Amino acid sequence: MRTASSIGAAPPAGRHLPTDGAAGPHAPPSPLRENFAWTFAGNTVYAGCQWAIVVVIAKLASPEAVGTFALGAAITAPVFLFAGLHLRASQVTDAARRFAFAEYRAVRVAGMAVALAAVVAIAALSSYDAPTRLVVLAVGASKAIEGMSDLYYGVLQQHERMRAIAVSLLWRGPLAVLAVAAALWAGGGLLLAVTALAASWAVVLLVHDRRAAAPFLRASPLRRPVDRRAAARIVAVCLPLGLVMMLVSLRTNIPRYFIQDRAGPGELGIFAALSSLLIAGNLVIGALGQAAIPRLARYSHEGDLRAFRRLLAFLLAVAVLLGGAGLLVAAFAGAPLLRALFGARYAGRSDVLVALMAVGLLSYAASFLGYGLTAMRRFTVQLPLFAGSTLACTGACLWLVPAQGLMGGAWAWGASLLIELVATAVVLKLALRRRAAGGVP
């Protein structure tokens, strides 16, 4: 495997980015431990680079620029997550191969086009100034490119070829950091930096991701006629997941909307920078969850509920250990850590960091329970769960943010996650009980 330093430079002219050539369609799936190792490596570098982008903007620009970047993500993320329909989860858990790749691809392309149109409309109708609107549009373009890469990741993950996904992430992360840093260092401003980020992701999509998934798509060529009825069924099946992902994103971003409205982009930039440290835990959660969900889906499909519960219990133990470690670091070393990473203005809010680490613990556990529900293809039931969590976050923000500012946003976020965690545990327990009684997953 290449090191992070060796993949930071652009590929030589006339050469392709390296792919997972050994993982052909007829090779056996990799062991769970190996899949986790590759996924963890890829997600570690990629998530670290996502966090590094925030650091670069904070160092080379200002808290206001960080706030504008965070606002762009907060506006576009719910739109693209809804339009994306969490299609990858349906691809990965489609153990019976109900739908062809051509149908999944048609749904994803249409979804990204609709999302881009919606972001353009939101930007045009907003009261933000022209530079902020353009940054929002640039972030939207990067989300569309990311959505297309995710489509090919779904093919690879379904065949448990996590190494190829990791290679893509190992390219996307460092290239994005270099693009943002170069644009800001050259004095191009935030808009040019986000545009350069989107361009770097487009290169990886075209040069690596499509090639890596190609061996698994021989039986489903891209130019075959699309079965529109099958595509419509995919939308019907995945629509609840799209709504769920939109609600999850809204629940995460609602505190940011309130902070932006009450305190401005500077305070939002501080909140976003502190929240970015949760990436350290999310990369483990994402890597382990993505490696485990195909196996959880197979256990559920085969009725091996003992193995399902054992794997889920292991995941929850990881969540508790990881969240506890984050709390300890924030409590005993929060201020010097923030000063070293972002500067003195951020170090004065180490109390908010402690609260956010507590939020992280709840988030990690809730995420793993959500992976369990998704592996059982319990899509529709997740909609009321996250709708209730999002409403709770909104109500808590209305009450807490005006009085407590950043700390109020953190506590409102945590309260909604606690509600989600308890409700998801109850629903998952009932789903397992029904499956044990002979219910169809």
**Cα–Cα nearest to 435, from 389, 353, 391, 375:** 375
Question: Nearest 5°: phi and psi at 199?
Answer: -65, -40
Which range, 82-91, 111-120, 226-235, 274-283, is most confident? 111-120
Q: How confident is the model at residue 284 (pLDDT cuts 50, 70, 90)?
A: confident
Q: For the segment 22-42, what is each residue's pLDDT rounded down to a tens digit?
A: 445 555 555 667 777 787 788
Q: How confident is the model at residue 94 (pLDDT cuts 50, 70, 90)?
A: confident
Say yes or no to pLDDT of 117 above 80.
yes
Q: In the numeric block, which tokens belong to residue 363?
A: 């988030």
Q: How confident is the model at residue 441 (pLDDT cuts 50, 70, 90)?
A: very low
**Cα–Cα nearest to 134, from 187, 80, 184, 191:** 191
Q: What angle do CA 39, 77, 105 make, to 5 degrees?
A: 65
Per residue, the 3-state secondary structure of 233-265, as one string, reads HHHHHHHHHHHHHHHHHHHHHHHHHHHHHHHCH
pLDDT (0 to 100) of residue 357: 94
Long-range contacts of 174-177 (CB under 8 A, 24+ apart): 174/4, 174/7, 174/8, 174/45, 174/49, 175/8, 175/10, 175/200, 175/201, 175/203, 175/204, 176/49, 176/50, 176/53, 176/200, 176/201, 177/49, 177/52, 177/53, 177/56
Distance, CA of 359 to CA of 325 (rounded, Å)? 13
Q: In the numeric block, which tokens belong to residue 372?
A: 């369990």
User: For the residues 297-313, what does the mean pLDDT come to?
Assistant: 88
Q: Which residue has the tokens 């545009």?
A: 195
Q: For the segment 371-387, what is each residue's pLDDT rounded down to a tens digit?
A: 998 888 787 787 888 88
Say yes or no to pLDDT of 4 above 70.
no
**Cα–Cα nearest to 71, from 342, 198, 253:** 253
pLDDT (0 to 100) of residue 95: 66
User: For the residues 66-71, what does the mean pLDDT come to?
Assistant: 90
| Percent of the chain at pLDDT exceeding 90 | 40
Average pLDDT, the chain: 84
Say yes or no to pLDDT of 340 above 60.
yes
Say yes or no to pLDDT of 279 above 80.
no
Distance, CA of 284 to CA of 417 (rounded, Å)? 19
Q: Would you tell me how many other CB atoms lie within 10 Å of the CB of residue 233?
A: 15
CA atoms within 13 A on the CB side of 346: 29
Q: In the numeric block, which tokens belong to residue 310?
A: 């054992």
Distance, CA of 50 to CA of 13 (rounded, Å)? 27
Q: How confident is the model at residue 103 (pLDDT cuts 50, 70, 90)?
A: confident
Domain map of the chain by residue range? 32-436
State the amino acid at position 180 in one-letter form: V
